[in-house]
Amino acid sequence: TGTGGGGTGGGGSSGGGSVGVITSSIFDCIFNTIDATLRANRFNGLKATGWTPANKDEAAVFLAHVFHETDGLKTMKEYCAPGCCPQYSGSWCSISAAPGKLYYGR
């Protein structure tokens, strides 16, 4: 009788495997609003980066940030991108945007 957690990963629709403490079943649970094929592709893309979180806290922060910024991996670009703050320079900032590029907040 344990306190829960643990698990060895694997299973899930993302084809198994893990990125450090981020298992495919955890990834599936967090990003459960996208279809299984897209979710598996995104998880495999994460694995392909070679990044491994140092601990569970780093993994949780990373996954929360990704979920928030991508609407649960539904978008790769901010929804308001074309209309959000196209002018970056002002009395408070002398940096000019590269032509044709948009910059987004975090």
HSE, side-chain direction, 13 A CA sphere, residue 34: 19
Residues in contact with 73: Cβ distance below 8 Å, sequence separation at least 6, in sequence order: 31, 34, 38, 39, 42, 66, 67
* More confident position, 26 or 79: 26
Has residue 3 been placed in a domain?
Answer: no
Token pair for 77: 């670009």
Has residue 36 been placed in a domain?
Answer: yes
Has residue 12 been placed in a domain?
Answer: no
Has residue 13 been placed in a domain?
Answer: no
- Domain total in the chain: 1
Please tell me the distance from the alpha carbon of residue 80 to that of residue 103, in angstroms, as a whole number. Answer: 11
Has residue 106 been placed in a domain?
Answer: no
pTM score, whole prediction: 0.64
- At 42-89, the pLDDT tens digits run 999 999 999 999 999 999 999 999 999 889 998 877 776 666 665 656
Has residue 29 been placed in a domain?
Answer: yes
Q: How far is CA 30 from CA 22, 54, 95, in A?
A: 11, 19, 37
Q: Give residue 47's Cα distance to chain centre.
A: 12
* More confident position, 79 or 27: 27
Confidence of residue 10 (pLDDT cuts 50, 70, 90): very low
